[in-house]
Homo-oligomer: A and B are copies of this chain.
């Protein structure tokens, strides 16, 4: 309950800094990992095994999101999701986010409330708190989120531990956000599930800790695209990775959208980013946990291949950025 601020508060300039921060962070139920919530010089968050996992990502209006394509709630959701996914990809359990929000003075409080609501909803889904924030004036709307996580005694899973002989597996959606972006780019608003996947990705946060406990040797969140992000593991680990398309599920919805738009849905699955699935390597098939899908293998060498060959985009493919 934010009873100290009026419901029809107009613009952020009228509301003032203290009320804005209160609006962003105040009066919400914090999870048990929040030892001291917003309102002091700094927050205090559980880091139970003496280590904290931390990552920062910045989203800019017009670059990372469009307010004519996404609701404020979806923007807030996405800003939190992309950051918490990074924490999960280390094998950590999300605990908290801190939000730096720069926005034009004429920004409506309604917009800020929407962003805030989306942040809280997704943070709550991850069992994390919004523990701190700063709201300042800027010509451009910029949302900077720092996510914190707790390894709870688990070994962190970096990008550097993959070994020849490992298998590659993923948990979460691939290609959905890219398909949704393609739909939006053509001026359509449906199918809703695909468009929503772009606007408000739902990373499988718990799969990060699950993979760590199962013995994952390397892990990454798929933000740039499956092949690009497996490329990061390949480089960091000094291994080659081969993805097998016969193991890659292409959901019927993506097939339908691809047909409608004249695009190859498999390309979305292989190269589309922003779904924030988790991709990881495991010592063998028996270590791949439930909910994960094996999609390839790790070999000696370097680079990422698809069915043993370098991947080439479909003829006539237009990169969207």
Give the docked Cα–Cα distance between A55 and B147 (Å): 12
Q: Is A47 an interface residue (CB 8 A)?
A: yes
Most chain B CB neighbours (cut-off 10 Å) among A50, A87, A156: A50
Q: How many chain-A residues does the 8 Å CB contact rule pick out?
A: 62
User: Is the pair A132, B41 in contact by a Cβ cutoff of 8 Å?
Assistant: no
Q: Is A54 an interface residue (CB 8 A)?
A: yes
Interface segment, one of A136-144, A162-170, A258-266: A136-144
Within 8 A of B (CB), among A21-60: 35-36, 39-60
Known: A54-B131, A63-B137, A136-B60. A42 touches B92 (CB 8 A): yes
Give the docked Cα–Cα distance between A96 and B92 (Å): 18
Interface segment, one of A98-106, A191-199, A285-293: A98-106
Q: Is A81 an interface residue (CB 8 A)?
A: no
Chain B residues, CB < 8 A from A98: 54-56, 146
Closest to A56 in B: B98
User: Is the pair A63, B136 in contact by a Cβ cutoff of 8 Å?
Assistant: yes
Known: A64-B136, A90-B41. A144 touches B56 (CB 8 A): yes
User: Is the pair A43, B60 in contact by a Cβ cutoff of 8 Å?
Assistant: no
1/0 per residue A242-258: CB within 8 Å of B?
00000000000000000
Q: Which of B42, B46, B144, B156 contacts A36 (CB 8 A)?
A: B156
Least CB distance from A67 to B in Å reads: 15
Q: Is A267 an interface residue (CB 8 A)?
A: no
A-B contact pairs, 10 of them (CB 8 A): A40-B160, A41-B159, A42-B53, A42-B54, A42-B89, A42-B90, A44-B51, A50-B50, A55-B98, A58-B101
Q: Which of B44, B63, B131, B147 contacts A138 (CB 8 A)?
A: B63
Give the docked Cα–Cα distance between A257 and B105 (Å): 34
Q: Is A274 an interface residue (CB 8 A)?
A: no
Give the docked Cα–Cα distance between A46 and B50 (Å): 6
Q: Is A134 an interface residue (CB 8 A)?
A: yes
Q: Is A178 an interface residue (CB 8 A)?
A: no
Chain B residues, CB < 8 A from A56: 98-100, 132-134, 144, 146
